[in-house]
Amino acid sequence: MPWRLGLLLLAAVAVTGCAAGASACKPPVTPGSQPSVAPFSTEDCRFHNLPNPEARASQSGWKIWTRFLTVKKENTRPAEPLPVRPVTRAQLDALDPGANHLIRLGHSSVLLKLRGAWWLIDPMFGERASPVSFAGPKRFQPTPIALAELPPIEGVILSHDHYDHLDVGTVEGLRERVRRWFVPLGVGARLREMGVAADRIEEFDWWQAGRLGEVRLTATRMSESSIAQKMLRCCGSEPKSSSVTDW
């Protein structure tokens, strides 16, 4: 990455942080108009982790960014192609509708068939996990099935809004084909910005629960890196919560 681009990115992060700190904000409320139980600071307008005595020490942001921008990257790609088994729409349709099925699409993206209805967890079909198309982590190979080949989706569970879990192009490709979106508090605003109808979105604070058909979901908290997270627990599996959004 060129130094100029790196410095611009760092400057943008700094300016955004200053702007957020200077603005007044109100604590988020749940769809039921109740204050969020997740730890939120009105000083920086962000959710924060609960103390974790078992967390490993981390380097400072300055050291991390310096290493990212200046140190040569080595061994960043698999030496051999990853073992991916393509799947077709016909194969999906042939799966027993009376049983439950799980198909891993890569990273945290999972396609579920639950009693004949299709669900997605953290669908990410984009080429890069990035806010821009020309830079950022790039997938090593295509997903086992193309986004356009997916069947109608009963529900999508989004754990949080990192780029490798919430992808604009994927959401835009799914928004008219998904019956209901289940997301942590704050992520609903992201989806509405991407054109998802508000009446198809359900947001959850920690420990709130919801149901769609025979599937019951409960939001629980967890931590990922330095971010306080909420997980949505569904049908024995789980999604998440944080930062500007309560994952």
Q: Is 182 domain-assigned?
A: yes
d(C-alpha 30, C-alpha 184), whole Å: 10
Establish if 79 belongs to a structural domain: no
Is residue 241 situated within a structural domain?
no
Judge whether 114 lies within some domain. yes
Residue 66 and residue 94 share a domain: no
pTM for this one? 0.77
Is residue 18 predicted with pLDDT exceeding 60? no
134/197 same-domain check: yes
- Let me know whether 180 and 109 are in one domain: yes
Residues 110 and 31 in one domain: no
Which amino acid would we find at residue 43?
E
Q: Are residues 122 and 10 in the same domain?
A: no
Residues 65 and 181 in one domain: no
- How far is the C-alpha of 217 from the C-alpha of 155, rounded, in Å? 11
Cα distances (angstroms) measured from residue 214 to each of 114, 117, 131? 9, 10, 36
66 and 97 housed in the same domain: no
The string of DSSP codes covering 66-92 is HHHHHSPP-S-S-SS--------HHHH
pLDDT tens-digit series, residues 203-214: 998 889 999 998
Backbone angles phi, psi at 202, to 5 degrees: -120, 125
Residue 245 lies in a domain: no
Cα 144-145-147 angle, rounded to 5 deg: 135
pLDDT of residue 53: 75
Q: CB atoms < 10 A from the CB of 89, how many? A: 13
List the Cα angle 104/109/112 in 5-degree steps: 60
Given a cut of 60, whether residue 57 has pLDDT beyond it is yes
From 40, 70, 100, give the residue that closes a domain: 70
One domain for residues 117 and 217: yes
The pLDDT tens digits of the residues spanning 73-107 come to 888 888 888 888 999 999 999 999 989 999 999 88
66 and 110 part of one domain = no
Residue 243 lies in a domain: no
Q: Residues 169-192: pLDDT tens digits?
A: 999 999 999 999 999 988 999 999
**Band (24; pLDDT cuts 50, 70, 90):** low
pLDDT of residue 245: 45
158, amino acid identity: L
How many domains does the chain fold into? 2
Confidence at residue 67, expressed as pLDDT on a 0 to 100 scale? 87
**Confidence band of 229 (pLDDT split at 50, 70, 90):** very low
Tell which residue, 219, 199, 213, 104, has the closest CA to residue 157. Answer: 219
CA gap 136, 152 in Å, rounded: 30
One domain, residues 112 and 18? no
Residue numbers of the domain that contains 38: 3-52+61-70
Identify the CATH number of the domain in which residue 204 sits.
Answer: 3.60.15.10
| Residue 220 falls inside a structural domain | yes
